[in-house]
A and B are shown apart, each in its own frame.
Chain A
Amino acid sequence: MEKVVEILSSLKSGVDFHTAEGIVTNKIIDSIDIASLISMLEDEFDVEIGMEYMENENFDSAAAIWEMIEELAEE
């Protein structure tokens, strides 16, 4: 979880990603940030994010991202 927040912070400074909600729906990070985010997440956690997971709710907060990573790791 901390790692996710760290990665997010490196993409966008000035936002507290511990508490931030709706970071995609409210356009705090855009599609280009998401592209970078995915490649960093994949490197960091050694998972593969497929198109099935490319939905707003999976990226809308640090917690949601963490949840998705855990789910992916289980597979």
Chain B
Amino acid sequence: MAITSVHFLIFLCITFCVFYCCPVKYRWVALLVSSIYFYVMAGAVSFLPFIVLTSGVIWICARIIGRLYEEQDEKLKGSDLGRAEKKAIKEQYKKRAKRVLMLALVCCVGILCVTKFTRYAVRYLNLIAEAANGSAPFSAEWILVPLGISYYTFSTVGYILDVYWKRYTYEPEFLRFFLYAIYFPHIVQGPISRYNLLGQELKKELRFDSRRIVFGMELMLWGFFKKLVIADRLNIFVSAVYNGEEHAGSIYLVAMLFDAFQIYTDFSGYTDIVRGASQIFGVELEQNFNHPFFAKTVPEYWRRWHMTLGGWFKDYVYYPCTISHFMKRINKRTKKTLSERGGRFVTVVIPVFVTWVLTGLWHGTGKTYLAWGIYYSTLITISVAFQPEFEKVTKFLKIRTDTFSWQLFRMLRTFCCFMGGRLLTSPGGLRRTLMVIKNILLHLQAWCLTDGTLFTYGLDWPQLVLIAGSVLLLWGVSMLQERASVRELLEEQNIVFRWAVIFAAIFSILIFGIYGLGYDAAAFIYAQY
């Protein structure tokens, strides 16, 4: 059951009816049941044990940790202990809690790694074995990759770490926690949720509110527009270019541009659909995109793109890494041997690299994603480490930094950095990336843009005009969104205008969306005898 299929819409309608027919107290149960149904339909029954196992282990361990802390607080409160004794008790409990935490992490992250990396490892083992005795003895076909495993593992791991760090207390009811893990809008592709936000959302009284439901539907429409009209249309071109043999450099440049917009509209469109769907039930999911193409620096870009993932890595990898004892020791040593600035440089670089390489591997396994992680770590390190030098250069060149042109330049620069990152992963292998770069540099063949070659990649000129128009619309709406809530603006308008906008959106999606079999004029016109 894909999120853009009719089945999903039917599923949503039925869930909607059941949900609002239930008494308020039991509405979360309706969500739980429909989420399990969705998970099975979108994935398979055989995936269920995995998510039950992961969330079960996390829930039990978090509960143990929580109970340990309660016990500790009891002990500390109950008696007049000296400072040293108190500290000893705290240390002791911290140690016990840490053991439980480690158990949970090893178990859950272990499952994640096995499901994600086994195929890759087996491929290499086979290559080695083939070189040695000419046969490939291993098979990884039996490995299941449960639907949404990276997402639910991250959400649940975040929860147990928060409990361990005493940010909030544990959830006493397993089914509540399980709903948080398997909640259907976020299970397939996020947003990666935090328990203190989504868990609480799911606990509140989920009442019928027509205004919010309309808002949810409008957000879904916008998501469908981005996904079906823009992303899936661009995808025709991008995949035709990247899956084909070798093309002119100019075609690759267009493909890179299209690819950037494709991935953005695809992912953010998807997120809007699920956030809208969730809003219909009164449950707010976290924002995942905040117009990343308006970002002026690469770090800012990643605060606007897939925000929940960036946030997760920041809170659960980057900070722990920065303030770990290991980092502190390195910091001290480098400060002694290097300058103050050198020491700071090292403290920045190591956590950044750890975070970004892991982020890369989270997106996909293999060398390309490793390269992608290193690419971003390097970019961010450069921008941080050489900031004083950059400032000096701008001053020296007498560049006015408060102008629109300078801001535009920074946006374009950031966008190009992003395209560079995509160039590592999109063509399908680093060798192909090199081939693309070679063609752009040596065989640009700019005439391919004007002599009709451009139209041979699945999109004829009406389609390209449509893309241009809808990207323009996307830009306009994004500008509006930066300033105010578009849905609130729309709400204030007269009904004629409001409905005109909504119907225009609905029929643009229905007509211009890429779905179904596609119309083959020849097959239809000649249906004669």
Residues of chain A at the chain B interface (Cβ within 8 Å) = 27, 30-32, 34-36, 38-39, 42, 49-52, 54-55, 75
Contact = CB atoms under 8 A, between A and B. Distances in A.
B323 A52 contact: no
B443 interface: no
B314 A31 contact: yes
Given A39-B344, A51-B165, A55-B167, A32 B323 contact: no
B229 to A, nearest CB: 32
Given A32-B352, A51-B165, A51-B320, A39 B328 contact: yes
B interface, by DSSP: helix, strand, loop or mixed? helix
Contacts, number: 47
Contacts of B166: 52
3 tightest Cβ-Cβ pairs between the two chains A and B: A35-B322, A51-B165, A52-B165
A49 B314 contact: no
B348 interface: yes
Interface residues of B, number: 23
B303 A49 contact: no
B279 to A, nearest CB: 23
Contacts of B323: 38, 49-51, 54
B319 A36 contact: no
Contacts of B347: 35-36, 39
B299 interface: yes
Contacts of A31: 299, 314, 318-319
Given A30-B299, A32-B384, A39-B331, A51 B348 contact: no
Contact of A35 (B87, B161, B303, B348): B348
Contacts of B373: none
Contacts of A32: 299, 348, 352, 380, 384
A27 B384 CA distance: 16
Contacts of B384: 32
Interface in B354-385: 380, 384
Contacts of B331: 39
B130 interface: no
Contacts of B85: none
Contacts of B165: 50-52, 54
A54 B167 CA distance: 9
A75 B87 contact: yes
B427 interface: no
Given A52-B166, A54-B319, 15 more contacts: A32-B352, A34-B319, A35-B318, A35-B319, A35-B348, A36-B348, A38-B323, A39-B322, A39-B347, A51-B165, A51-B319, A51-B320, A52-B165, A54-B315, A75-B87
A42 B45 CA distance: 51
B66 interface: no
Interface in B289-331: 299, 303, 314-315, 318-320, 322-323, 328, 331
A49 B161 CA distance: 16
B351 A27 contact: no
A27 B299 contact: no
B315 to A, nearest CB: 7
B322 A38 contact: yes
